[in-house]
Amino acid sequence: MDGVPEPHTGWTFLTNHARVLAAIADNHSARIRDIAARCRLTERAVQKIIADLEQDGYLSHTREGRSNTYRIDPGKVLRHPAEAGLTVASLMSLLVKDEADRATITASRGRPHATA
């Protein structure tokens, strides 16, 4: 089946819900297909995750023509008791900083180094 990402085995530090939320934070009008590709999930899995996030108030969407524009509630508190008091905004700021750092590192690796 084309377009289905390779499955991942083993555990990871971030949940798929966090990955989808981060992808939406990066592009509020991203298509489900694009979110799925970025997160290495199936489109159906992304649809379910978006439904979960909307049901619990972390995310909402507005239909604009044939596409959706998503809105994240940055003040919403994370669900797990260990993260009591932490908001979606705090989680997204960590992930966005990481993305910016990774982009900088990747870009610097691609540049030719000056010789002395």
Contacts with 87 (C-beta within 8 Å, 6 or more apart), sequence order: 74, 75, 76, 77, 78
Higher pLDDT: 78 or 104? It is 78
Q: Across the chain, what does the average pLDDT equal?
A: 84
The answer, yes or no, to whether residue 115 has pLDDT greater than 70, is no
Dist. CA 39–CA 93, nearest whole Å? 18
- Return phi, psi of residue 73, to 5°: -85, 100
- Note the pLDDT of residue 114: 47
35-55: pLDDT as tens digits: 999 999 999 999 999 999 999
pTM for the whole structure: 0.75
11-25: pLDDT as tens digits: 888 899 999 999 999
**59-to-36, 38, 39, 53, 96 alpha-carbon distances in Å:** 17, 18, 17, 5, 17
43-96: pLDDT as tens digits: 999 999 999 999 999 999 999 999 999 999 999 999 888 888 899 999 888 887
Cα–Cα–Cα angle for 1, 20, 22, rounded to 5 degrees = 140
The two tokens of residue 27 are 């592009």
